[in-house]
Amino acid sequence: MRLKILIFVLLLSFFSYGFEPIKPIPLSVPYNKEKAELGKLLFHDPILSRDKTVSCASCHDLYTKWGTDHRNVSIGVEGKKGNVNAPSVYNSYFNFRLFWNGRAKNLKEQAKGPLHNPVEMDMDKKTIEKRLKKIPVYKQLFKRIYGDIRYEYVLDAIAEFEKALITPNSKFDKYLRCKEEGNKDCKKILTKKELEGYITFKKIGCISCHNGINVGGNSFQKLGVIFPYRWKPYYPDRYQITHKEEDKNVYRVPSLRNIECTYPYFHDGSVKTLREALKKMSYHNLGFELSDEEIDKIEAFLKTLTGKLPEIIRKDYENTKK
């Protein structure tokens, strides 16, 4: 027992002396360029939905909405309403599981979800293959990369594209990288308010759930640890998988990367502004109300987590065709 306490205290002091619980997004991630470019076409193609009106990009707009749709809940084929807020696809490669309740282990497995969901794209394997086989550009690309058009390859190409959807080089990552390199004057990169916001974020305990590369995305936690949040049976929480009472309102902690751009917030999309999200978080999960000054500071810090748009969507598709 004593040993455990000792280890705990040692760990705690390790945390307080310069160890950074948030890691910068790598500047690049290795991926197969040809597959990713094919995945980019598929990601934007509505023929992958039953009534040919919805593509992945309809709910994950990469150019103007930071990989989300800015709706409370998404709208799929025939205008059908979904039951949960769409998270960003940016940096989802770094999440330990995918979906609000983590039911998919990796991006390939995740992509099956929306393709077959009756209120999203409502497709089946055979129809996907049949439709793609009729389009010359797909015939040519799939033949060159995979040898044939198959459902598994569609998932593979989309997942490869999503690997490339990372947003490195945020102001905060520049600060972290500066410190990693052992430089002394890194504090200059952030304003006083932003730095104080980060210190507050750590001090009051936000960091215990929002840490790692994605400032979240690496554990399951309850919304309402201290003061309960209303529970509704149709939201995809851990309870839907485990049917254990304690898993009601337990979600994979969302990433806070690019958080100022991915509103509205929470699984139900009920929270419109970042300030309101911070108030709700500190009340429900830490058990106290933040002062306006604390909110200002934390908000300023969170805004430094906005990165640069991924390389792969910045350049025109034409440039990559040789």
The residues that touch ligand HEC, with contacts defined as CB under 6 A, are 54, 56, 58-60, 74, 76, 82, 84, 86-87, 89, 92, 95, 98-100, 107, 110-111, 114-115, 120-121, 158, 162, 204-206, 208-210, 221, 223, 225, 236, 251, 253-254, 256, 259, 262, 265-267, 277-278, 281-282, 285-286, 298
Whose Cβ is closer to ligand HEC: residue 92's or residue 173's? 92
Q: Tell me the C-alpha distance between 156 and 36, whole Å.
A: 9
Shortest Cβ 21–ligand HEC spacing (Å):
13
301, with CB counted inside 10 A (0-12, 13-18, 19+), is: buried
Whose Cβ is closer to ligand HEC: residue 73's or residue 189's? 73
Q: Tell me the C-alpha distance between 232 and 241, whole Å.
A: 15
Shortest Cβ 185–ligand HEC spacing (Å):
27
Catalogue the long-range contacts made by 107-113 (C-beta closer than 8 Å, 24 or more residues apart): 107/158, 107/159, 107/162, 107/163, 108/155, 108/156, 108/158, 108/159, 110/159, 111/154, 111/155, 111/158, 111/159, 112/155
The closest of 266, 312, 264, 275 to 68, measured between CA atoms, is 264
The closest of 23, 61, 25, 40 to 262, measured between CA atoms, is 61
Whose Cβ is closer to ligand HEC: residue 1's or residue 234's? 234
The CA angle 168-209-300, to the nearest 5 degrees, is: 55
Buried b (16+ CB within 10 A) or exposed e, 115-131: bebebbbbbeeeebbeb
Shortest Cβ 268–ligand HEC spacing (Å):
7
Longest dimension (CA), the chain: 69
Contact 29, 161 (CB under 8 A): no
Whose Cβ is closer to ligand HEC: residue 162's or residue 194's? 162
Shortest Cβ 184–ligand HEC spacing (Å):
29
Shortest Cβ 246–ligand HEC spacing (Å):
13
Whose Cβ is closer to ligand HEC: residue 173's or residue 211's? 211
Whose Cβ is closer to ligand HEC: residue 74's or residue 304's? 74
Contact 54, 120 (CB under 8 A): yes
The closest of 138, 143, 144, 139 to 39, measured between CA atoms, is 138
Whose Cβ is closer to ligand HEC: residue 210's or residue 248's? 210
Asked whether the CA dihedral 19, 22, 28, 33 is positive or negative, the reply is: positive
Shortest Cβ 6–ligand HEC spacing (Å):
25
Shortest Cβ 278–ligand HEC spacing (Å):
5
Whose Cβ is closer to ligand HEC: residue 92's or residue 304's? 92
Tokens found for residue 200: 């507050």
Using CA atoms, how far residue 50 sits from 159, 217, 233, in Å, is 21, 31, 28
Whose Cβ is closer to ligand HEC: residue 71's or residue 178's? 71
